[in-house]
Every structure is written in structure tokens, then in C-alpha cells.
């Protein structure tokens, strides 16, 4: 009977899938679960017999689909790419007109556009939803970024709003962690409908690109304290713990403080000192950077964060190069506390510029794909649940609430005044990084972005002259309206004479 059918189903019981299924069940929704490996499904259901909503294990896709209420709502949480397509291909013959497929993986937004179009032609509906927060977020409250058919999302909305992280309506601060079977009540859910087709997964991609930038900036702050000031990991950890009580209050700053103060259980040394300095990546930061290049949007800070991971990966080459290449050997003789404060300011200013770049990228994407994005709402749902959750996002929410068509975060009065006060320290830190030979690519690129964006005149006039000289690419004039192009028939006599 229909009353015994599940409200929703989930395919893919790796850690993220299991945690999201438990989150759904904890909020009173009956959920059917299926996994390609049946033993995984059976073990999961057996270990969680008393959830408020109930878990229904299904051994076949046919049984799984038959167990769901119409319109059926099926969450897919498998590896992005071919695996997702394979699951969809297996589902399609079993579904009926109006049923809804939800991809909760880290899909590329162009794949989501394609899948939504293909399923629509078959009478099915598709939602591509960003899910941020890692394993803990999936279990106790993620940030959710759904995109697709708005009428289809209306069926999913009660579930997504229930399981999302919650923040205080006034302060934007997360409302604590939930306990199994005791979900957080009240507050504003970190979930909002983003837009048509691939909008949800696009915004999740930009979130991940910003995350790359945040993480690299924090690493540069750590490296400056270590390399210039000679501070130990636990000492630096205490600095980050203090920073987490102020304007840098965020999940990533909080865990950085904990990581730096963690001892290695094997050697007793600081944990970070025994971790190999090669960083992995799953590709979403690269997608963000490539898309920024494709659309002609300046997003250098995210790109530098991606390149930093790439550089870290050539460990053996770097070790060999360190024995050949030299740098400065200068020792710090200034005020240590003042320099730590300067690093704090450099981190905050760079963070503002990185987010400004991310929101500029989304602004251009909405033109490219005919979306209408609510940037204030996007900042709002990033205040809790997701990896980049931070007190700082409340300021972005307020900025777009005051001016929805804000061209750039740097033009908002709060961010403008903040950088005005802190930029002397920011410049001091970037200069010190160069002086002491400490790589600080995101700090430096963010500062160059700021200086470039505030420049009424850049040297691109010379660049355009070069392009016209060697390729007849034309140029615009300062004394003529924009959009009118000119070309000089460069005489041979102005070309330099090369002596052989």
C-alpha cells in the first residue's frame, strides 16, 4: 500500500550516501536504499534499525523503484561522471513520467545540463544538487544547492530543508551540531533553489574553487609564521585558535588550529611535521579556473591555489631543485606580534578578494546560461554546513541584501573600509614574503587583483598597440566611443632595425 512506501530513495552507500540517508531518516522520512554491493546495503540497514523514519533495504533496482511513492524521488550519490550516467541508464526503464532523479554528487554543471535535457525528453525530471559539508555535513546538516526544474524541486524541498544545516536568522551563526535522532530545530536552513538545469552544480563548483583559495591562503599564513618567525606548529595553532574568535571565525580556521596542535601518535612530533607536503585534488578547483578563463573573468586567486597543489605534487623535483637553487637568507628582527597581526590582515583581505572573484564568476555565468542567481541567498546558505562556512559570509549576505546588483564585493562599504584599514599590513606581508623567499601566491595574486581592479588605467593600452602592430588586431581610442575600432597601417620605418 502507498502508506508503506518510502518518501524518497537513495542509491550509493559509500560514507556520504550512508550519512545522508541517516540524516533523512532522522528527520522522520522513510527512505529506501540500494547499493550495487548488496552486502554493504544489508550491513548498513542492520546497523541502523531504529531511525525515526526508517530505512528500507532493497536488493534490486526493481524492488527499490517499486518501494517509492509517486512521483518517485531518487537521490544518486555515486562517483561523478560515468558512474552517475550508468546508474541513470539503469533507472530510466523502471521510472514513470514525472518521476524525479536527484544527483547529489560533485557533477560538472555541463553534465547536469545534458542529463536534465535528456531526461526531460523521456518525461522524467532531474535535479542537480550541490551537497557540501563532507561526511559530517551529510550526517548532521549540509549546505544544499539544488538546481533544475522548480516544479520538481517543490517535491524535494521539504526533505532538503529538513536535513540542511541551520543558522541563526539574525547572526547567521550555525545552530550547533545535531545528535543522531535529535535533529536541529528552528533557524534558517542552509538550502535554497539556485536556478534551472546546471545552476546548482555550477554554484557548488564555485564554492569548491573558493574553498581551494581559502585553504591555500591559510597555508601561506602558516608558512609565513613558520618560515619568517620560526614559530612551531603548536604555537601557530594557538594563533589560529585566537583568530577563530574574531572576523576570521570559520570552520577552516577552527580545524587548522586543531590540526596544528595535534601530536603525531607514532613519534610524538607535531602532526603536520610528519605529513608529506604533496596535496591532492579532485578537479573542481581546476573546473572553476578553466571556466573563468573560458568566460574571461579574472579569478587569479583560485587559479593560484590550484597551481600551488600542482607544484606541491612534484616533490622529488623540488627536493632536487632545493640543492641547486638559492634564495634569501634574511633573519627576522622586527616586532613578532605586529607581523602576526599583519598576516591576519593579509589573510582577511585576500579572502575578500577571492570571494569577490567567485561572485563575479557566478554573475557572468548567469548571463552565459540564462540563469537568475540570488547572490545574497547563495552567501546565506554557505553560512552553515559547508566547508567554507564562516562568520564572514554574513557580511556578504548583508552586502547583497543592501544592493542586489552589486558589481563587486570590493565596492560594498564594509569590505571597502575593511581593506582600506588593513591594506598597509597586507602589502607589508606580501613584500616580506618576497624578501624572505616564502611563496605566497594567493596573497600576492589577490593583492594584484585588488590593485588591478581599482586602476582607472592599466597598461593594456600598450598591449593592444602590440597586437595591432604584429597582427592588425585593431584598437579602441580614448577620444572615441567604445565599440569603434581602428588600425594603423604601420610603416616599415617605425620597425626597429636589427643589426646582425
Look-up of cell digits 646582425: 500
Strands 166-167 and 188-189: antiparallel
Angle at which helix 199-227 crosses helix 251-260, to 10 degrees, equals 40
Angle at which helix 336-369 crosses helix 300-313, to 10 degrees, equals 110
Spatial separation of the C-alpha atoms in residues 193 and 155, rounded to whole Å: 12
Nearest to 260 by CA among 246, 276, 239, 281: 239
The pLDDT score that the predictor gives to residue 335 is: 97
Which of helix, strand or coil describes residue 462? helix
Residues recognised as catalytic: 204, 211
Kindly state the cell numbers that stand for 53: 523514519
Domains and CATH numbers, the chain: 2-197 (3.40.50.720), 202-453 (1.10.1040.10), 461-494 (1.20.5.320)
The pLDDT score that the predictor gives to residue 249 is: 94
The pLDDT score that the predictor gives to residue 499 is: 55
Q: Do 354 and 217 meet the contact criterion of CB atoms below 8 Å apart?
A: yes
The pLDDT score that the predictor gives to residue 169 is: 76
Spatial separation of the C-alpha atoms in residues 154 and 212, rounded to whole Å: 32
Q: Number of C-alpha atoms within 13 angstroms, CB side, residue 301?
A: 35
Q: Do 203 and 378 meet the contact criterion of CB atoms below 8 Å apart?
A: yes
Positions in the chain short of pLDDT 50: 1, 178, 180-181
Amino acid at each position: 500500500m502507498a502508506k508503506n512506501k518510502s518518501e524518497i530513495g537513495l542509491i550509493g552507500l559509500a560514507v556520504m550516501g550512508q550519512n545522508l540517508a541517516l540524516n533523512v531518516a532522522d528527520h522522520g522520512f522513510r527512505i529506501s536504499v540500494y547499493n550495487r554491493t548488496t552486502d554493504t546495503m544489508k550491513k548498513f540497514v542492520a546497523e541502523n534499525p531504529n531511525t525515526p523514519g526508517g530505512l528500507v533495504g532493497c536488493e534490486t533496482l526493481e524492488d527499490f523503484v517499486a518501494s517509492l511513492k509517486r512521483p518517485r524521488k531518487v537521490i544518486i550519490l555515486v562517483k561523478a561522471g560515468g558512474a552517475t550516467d550508468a546508474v541513470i541508464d539503469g533507472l530510466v526503464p523502471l521510472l514513470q513520467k514525472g518521476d524525479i532523479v536527484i544527483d547529489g554528487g560533485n557533477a560538472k554543471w555541463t553534465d547536469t545540463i545534458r542529463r536534465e535535457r535528456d531526461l526531460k525528453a523521456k518525461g522524467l525530471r532531474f535535479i542537480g544538487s550541490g551537497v557540501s559539508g563532507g561526511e559530517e555535513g551529510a550526517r548532521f546538516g549540509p549546505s544544499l544547492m539544488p538546481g533544475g526544474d522548480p516544479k520538481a524541486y517543490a517535491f524535494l524541498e521539504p526533505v532538503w530543508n529538513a536535513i540542511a544545516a541551520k543558522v541563526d536568522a539574525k547572526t547567521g551563526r550555525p545552530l550547533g551540531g545535531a545528535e543522531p535522532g535529535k535533529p536541529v530545530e528552528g533557524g534558517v536552513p542552509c538550502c535554497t533553489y539556485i536556478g534551472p538545469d546546471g545552476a546548482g552544480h555550477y554554484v557548488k563548483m564555485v564554492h569548491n574553487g573558493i574553498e581551494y583559495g581559502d585553504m591555500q591562503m591559510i597555508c601561506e599564513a602558516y608558512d609565513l609564521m613558520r618560515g619568517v618567525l620560526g614559530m612551531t606548529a603548536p604555537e601557530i595553532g594557538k594563533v589560529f585558535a585566537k583568530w577563530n574568535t574574531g572576523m576570521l571565525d570559520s570552520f577552516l580556521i577552527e580545524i587548522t588550529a586543531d590540526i596544528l596542535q595535534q601530536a603525531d601518535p607514532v613519534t610524538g612530533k607535531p602532526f603536520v611535521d610528519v605529513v608529506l607536503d604533496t596535496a591532492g585534488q579532485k578537479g573542481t578547483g581546476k573546473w572553476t579556473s578553466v571556466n573563468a578563463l573560458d568566460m574571461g573573468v579574472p579569478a587569479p586567486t583560485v587559479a593560484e591555489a590550484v597551481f600551488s597543489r600542482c607544484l606541491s605534487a612534484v616533490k622529488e623535483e623540488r627536493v632536487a631543485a632545493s640543492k641547486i637553487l638559492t634564495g634569501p637568507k634574511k633573519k627576522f628582527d622586527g616586532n613578532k606580534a605586529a607581523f602576526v597581526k599583519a598576516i591576519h590582515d593579509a589573510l582577511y583581505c585576500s579572502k575578500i578578494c577571492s570571494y569577490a572573484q567567485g561572485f563575479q564568476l557566478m554573475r557572468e555565468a548567469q548571463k552565459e546560461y540564462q540563469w537568475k542567481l540570488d547572490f545574497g541567498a547563495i552567501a546565506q546558505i554557505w553560512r552553515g554546513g559547508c566547508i567554507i562556512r564562516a562568520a564572514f559570509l554574513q557580511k556578504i549576505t548583508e552586502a547583497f541584501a543592501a544592493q542586489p546588483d552589486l558589481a563587486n564585493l570590493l565596492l560594498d562599504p564594509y569590505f571597502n573600509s575593511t581593506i582600506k584599514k588593513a591594506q598597509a599590513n597586507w602589502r607589508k606581508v606580501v613584500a616580506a614574503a618576497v624578501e624572505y623567499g616564502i611563496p605566497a601566491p594567493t596573497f600576492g595574486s589577490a593583492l594584484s587583483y585588488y590593485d588591478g581592479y581599482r586602476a582607472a588605467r592599466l597598461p593594456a593600452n600598450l598591449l593592444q598597440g602590440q597586437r595591432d602592430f604584429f597582427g592588425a588586431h585593431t584598437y579602441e581610442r580614448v577620444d572615441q566611443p567604445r565599440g569603434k575600432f581602428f588600425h594603423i597601417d604601420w610603416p616599415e620605418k617605425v620597425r626597429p632595425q636589427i643589426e646582425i
